[in-house]
Amino acid sequence: MDIEQYDIILVDDSPEVAELTRLALGTRKLADKLTWFADAELAEEFFFQGDYASRKDLHPYLILLDLNLPLMSGHDFLKIIKSNAATSHIPVVMFSSSDDQRDINQSYELGANGYVVKSTDPKEFMGTVADTGIYWRNRNRPARMGEAGETGPVSGTA
């Protein structure tokens, strides 16, 4: 499985969410490819044991991560992604139906780059996905690990 620069990884146990996300991003041409994992264990395998593990150049520009997943929670997967040097720079947006402030706070404490509450209305849901995709693809400037010109930590005064 090749990773393209404009890939989005979706980790969500709902096929309906995956299909609506695919439609929302496809309609706006916001992702060359959406890779969907129905659970965090499969996503973890992909990042650390599969094709992605050997990649040094191109990375997905966004991971949309559900909070409430079977087996491994979204928070547990977030900890893994953000604690690994090879993946810590990838933006992770929690994508959950929970609007509980404790879930939101914990997500940011664990390194989430954003938290988006899923709507139960399909049209509003697709608009939210499109808005999220627009920001992370068109407005955000991602880290480019291993590219020419990378000098490591910056020191000195501003």
What is the overall mean pLDDT for the chain? 84
- Angle, vertex CA 32, rays to CA 135 and CA 83, nearest 5: 65
Per-residue pLDDT of 25-78, as tens digits, reads 988 888 778 899 999 999 999 888 866 666 666 578 899 999 999 999 999 999
Question: Cα separation of 149 and 31, whole Å?
Answer: 27
CA-nearest of 39, 4, 36, 41 to 23 is 36
pLDDT of residue 143: 66
Q: What average pLDDT score do residues 107-115 get?
A: 97
pLDDT of residue 1: 46
Side chain identity at residue 140, one-letter code: N
User: Residues of the chain with pLDDT > 90: what percent?
Assistant: 58
Strand 33-37 versus strand 114-117 pairing type: unpaired
